[in-house]
Chain A
Amino acid sequence: MLFQEAPAETTAYMIAGYLVIFGVMLVYLTSMLVRRQNLLSDLETLQEIEKEL
């Protein structure tokens, strides 16, 4: 990058970086949501079993 006149063309790398940032955050949020749904369903089943006992 020595003696360069204009900034380097690195837009694609910036886009890739932000896709990773928002992608990972979205995956983590989704994983929490899925785990919550599964736990609520488990809780419902366990409460039914408890009633039967």
Chain B
Amino acid sequence: MDPKPRLLTVLDVITIIFLLVATYMVFFYAPMEAVMGHVQRVFYFHVAAGWVGMLSFLAAAIGGIAYLRTGNLKWDRVIVASVEIGIAFIFINIITGAIWARPIWNTWWTWDPRLTTATIMELIYLAYLMLRSGIEDPERRARFGAVYAIIGFLSVPLTFYSARLFRSIHPVVIGSNQPGAEGSFDMTPKMLQTFLFSLFTFTLIYFDLLWHRLRLGALENKVEQLKLKTMR
């Protein structure tokens, strides 16, 4: 395996520092919300995780287009890496949402449009990983993955706009709020700073994880090639 690039080590260190600062801001810098209490602090990383999930799926769709245009297998590795990261972060987003909802909505779960579309999106990408693992031929697998990543991406704008387009109780952070939203709040400047810093930190986490996962993908590819060579 290629030695770890120096720039990746630098990115690791910067990401860890930013995560520590973001965590500090969430717990000690941002004020406690007057109605919801401490559980509102989940909001900062809950939204940031959702953002990383959607960014990952966008990167997967771009990787899909790039693979279909070039036929280069490195784009297949970008797709699978991004989908994997996206699944982990949307999982965080859904579970923390349920934890926040328990004291605020008085229920762990409700089939609200936002919650439903987010769950469908997660299942679509989980199915991608399962279906992908069933295809042996690398070229066929990559072609299937590319098409799936592009079509699967339709679930992302649907999830993002679901709380705006349909009757939803899920609060809307960016843009005008829904009149029926339950648990919405006005952000103070410190809350807004913490929120934006968390979004930036999670974007760094995404690129750091993506780089590590791409290196793992390259190693997987090397092992697969060697396996095929020794089997002949």
Contacts and interface: CB of A to CB of B under 8 A. Distances in A.
Nearest to A24: B92
Contacts of A49: 230
B212 A17 contact: no
A24 B88 contact: yes
Nearest to B95: A20
Nearest to A9: B37
Interface residues of B, number: 38
Given A10-B39, A16-B99, A18-B42, A40 B212 contact: no
A49 B222 CA distance: 15
A7 B33 contact: yes
B35 A14 contact: no
Interface in B73-124: 85, 88, 91-92, 95-96, 99-100, 102-103
Contacts of B96: 17, 20-21
A16 B36 CA distance: 15
A39 B100 CA distance: 39
Interface in B49-94: 49, 85, 88, 91-92
B34 interface: yes
A40 B38 contact: no
Contact of A7 (B37, B46, B213, B222): B37
Contacts, number: 94
A16 B102 CA distance: 12
Nearest to B229: A50
Interface in A26-53: 28, 32, 35-36, 39-40, 42-43, 46-47, 49-50, 53
B185 to A, nearest CB: 11
A14 B38 CA distance: 6
Contact of B99 (A1, A8, A17, A28): A17
Contacts of A46: 223, 226-227, 230
A40 B1 contact: yes
22 contacts: A7-B36, A8-B103, A10-B38, A11-B38, A13-B99, A14-B39, A17-B39, A17-B42, A17-B96, A18-B42, A20-B96, A21-B45, A25-B205, A28-B209, A32-B213, A35-B216, A36-B216, A39-B219, A40-B219, A43-B219, A46-B223, A49-B230
